[in-house]
Amino acid sequence: MERFRVRIDADHVVRLWGELDHAEATALAEVAASSVDSQRELVVDLTDLTFIDSAGIGVIVETARLTDGDVLLRGPRPAVRRVLDVTGIVGTTGIKLEQ
């Protein structure tokens, strides 16, 4: 199991690594809330995220509710993309998938 990590880059992109589950959701919630800026969309880079559960999905949805802009999800791996598709969060409540 890869340890979960989250970091905000200088370009304000929230980058996630490892497995995002219930135990790690609070860490993401804190970073995401501090990153919300109504002047721009919030980009969450999922390229190195290997797993996400319902708690992680909940944090993304709650973050989208906190911002006036959109939450743009970047580069999900197939397993993470399947969870996004099954939950149907992309296209709702200001959540978009980068094309």
- SS3 of 72, please? strand
What is the rounded CA–CA span in Å between residue 87 and residue 92?
A: 11
Q: What is the pTM of this model?
A: 0.88
Helix residue ranges per DSSP H, the chain = 25-35, 54-66, 78-87
Q: Is the pLDDT of residue 39 over 60?
A: no
pLDDT of the residue at 66 = 82
Q: Is the pLDDT of residue 3 over 80?
A: yes
Higher pLDDT, 42 or 75: 75
pLDDT of the residue at 44 = 94
Quickly name the fold that domain 5-97 has: Transcription Regulator spoIIAA (3.30.750)
* Mean pLDDT value of segment 28-45: 79
pLDDT of the residue at 33 = 76
